[in-house]
Chain A
């Protein structure tokens, strides 16, 4: 018996060693690939290109879809922000998903909306659409509002928008997100510049908006969040988007286009059934299904990412709301892995099956479980006096310094390419955050992820719910 236990212990140790080593190497590789991808992007893009596209009659039409549920606090400034976007040919569709506050009334009165007889052809099934509104004011002619029965998910709302979208590409965003004025131009360029493959989705970097200054839905001044929890999220977003997604984009292995901002090919999205309203990670689920559809139909596809920050979103500032968000994300990941497990290590799905899916399975889904089991065994070994403390301390120190290094590299790429933030001390402030992230933020993520998996396994009922926004204030005097 003791022999078996000792064998199991050694197997666990060795597996964990290989697991950790591969993870560290993957992050080192991502740092390198992201550098190449960002360098390619910055060399290739000039502001002049955006000017050319902005005035071109040949720019592809884009539809913006922004679902809203009880967003009365910010809806008007956010729609105004969308109306200021710089693009020659686009329409905005706001989907009021059965709000119980005054979201719909505000939209009607502010933008002079009237109900119209609209020929609605639902290619994707959704909850019923009550009415469709257009503005009588020519200044808002590109704006349309769908009023529908609440579908208890963002997915259902966006699907209603996809059904009504006019153009071949749609941009999905959250109505509470603030977009850069050139967002549509930036997102359209990779579609137009791709040589060989069909671009089915394009994503861009998101940032936390909490302490930045906005005026009428337009970003005036970018600042790192003052509160610790949103600042952790800011650092996490930089690492995830600038380093992670850009690295994956370089080898066409992007696992997810964020729900906050993404451009999608409407035909492919519709043909694979649109967003899954039962999913808690509907953005990642849709992209996985789109990639799967492309593989099944021999479409040589590409998913692109842009390192430039084009979208600001309000990050949860309280642990309670944050826990809700992360639990939902983890549950969504577990759902996705379960639903599409046939792609796992399946050569038929190319890079998706052999790289993206295994990475997500081992290093996203299993990571919290591995860490949790590691902590339990660590405690057990410590209590029974089996820990080699000098060696263990060194190992821990290495993991800590490595984690700080990777995040700092992500901040470095971001700074070298775009030089965000006005003051140097704001960047210094951000650079100090990774030192605490490992000790304060990461354990929270692990805990909420485990809770998400537990909810997934037990099938606990849950909805996308209200994120209790603070709203974006005006510039502080």
Chain B
């Protein structure tokens, strides 16, 4: 009997919780439906449509009129949070003066105080939220506050602190590449890449430094992507050195990087090492030669296309031949006339502009 009563009570409690959550959700929606258009209108009037912004007046010289904002119920926490969220929303979509002015508005409304309070919360989710807000609003936070969090046991907090450090630290934003020991996840790399490539006034170092000295493979792999993004040709010797690494995933990344940097000097080296490489590296070598398109390795590509027993290698070789089209026109024509049925299909596949991959 007791179990029946417990089951009934839990069910009733669940109903009440559903009712309560829907009621609170309804109230929240109602409040926000009323407040958000007001906040948006104020931001548009004061910042987005501000003639001084359009005229290019520096944000520091623009006096914001906060009267309209003072009429908002900013003494209530939910209203302050809603205002912060809207400012962040606008700031994510604008650059330059308007972005700086949104930041000024955030500071002048003293919304950063709430964020700072969240930073002191014992709950990691709140700290992460606060750090994300600081990153979005570009509010400087002292290194002593962020650095301890970069070693937090909580992965989300650790990652957010690292992002904040790179974005907000005025000293050495890339310092943490030297000390990070755990692997950077694919997601960390996506976030770091965004932060590094979108932060204004950040001095971009030569990433070859970490390619050469870092013992963290994920840091090296990430730096190779940054080298490609910033087209850092001075890093080529360091990347070329990485071709000797025993880790074939890293080697494949290095070959990929050299291909994207279009370094013709490494072609001979890539061809000479080709036969001793695992499939993944061989594919990258063929792609790299296609990207470099110097025309010096057409015979090698032709040989691979005709004689490789692996379908993917033949396809990669054909693709690279097609990329070398200007210099390999005769070879491609010859292959079209003489290739067997399967190779002919591969060649036609690679030549068809409708087929992307």
> Which residues of A are in contact with B by a Cβ distance under 8 Å?
43-44, 46, 48, 51-53, 55-60, 91, 114, 116-121, 134-136, 141, 166, 189, 191-195, 394, 397-398, 401-402, 404-405, 408-409, 411-412, 415-416, 419, 424, 427, 431
Contact = CB atoms under 8 A, between A and B. Distances in A.
Contacts of A193: 185-187
A48 B160 CA distance: 13
A192 B186 contact: yes
Interface in B334-357: 342, 345-346, 348-350, 352, 354-357
A424 B345 CA distance: 59
Interface in B1-27: 1, 3-4, 7-8, 10-11, 14-15, 17-19, 21-22, 25-26
A300 to B, nearest CB: 14
A23 to B, nearest CB: 14
A141 B26 CA distance: 43
B265 interface: no
A401 B15 contact: no
Contacts of B345: 117-120
A405 B14 contact: yes
A409 to B, nearest CB: 6
Interface string B122-165: 00010000001000000000000000000000011000000000
Given A401-B11, A427-B18, A192 B190 contact: yes
Given A119-B315, A136-B354, A191-B186, A43 B15 contact: no
Contacts of B352: 116-117, 134
A243 B19 CA distance: 20
A57 B226 CA distance: 12
A57 B7 CA distance: 51
Contacts of B117: none
Interface of B: 1, 3-4, 7-8, 10-11, 14-15, 17-19, 21-22, 25-26, 92, 125, 132, 155-156, 183, 185-187, 189-191, 193-194, 225, 311-312, 315, 342, 345-346, 348-350, 352, 354-357
A52 B190 contact: yes
A58 B22 contact: no
B190 A56 contact: yes
Contacts of B190: 52-53, 56, 58-59, 192
B125 A398 contact: no
13 contacts: A52-B190, A55-B194, A58-B193, A116-B349, A118-B355, A134-B355, A193-B185, A193-B186, A401-B7, A404-B7, A408-B15, A415-B21, A419-B25
Given A43-B125, A114-B354, A398-B4, A405 B348 contact: no
B314 to A, nearest CB: 9
B354 A195 contact: no
Given A119-B349, A408-B14, A192 B4 contact: no
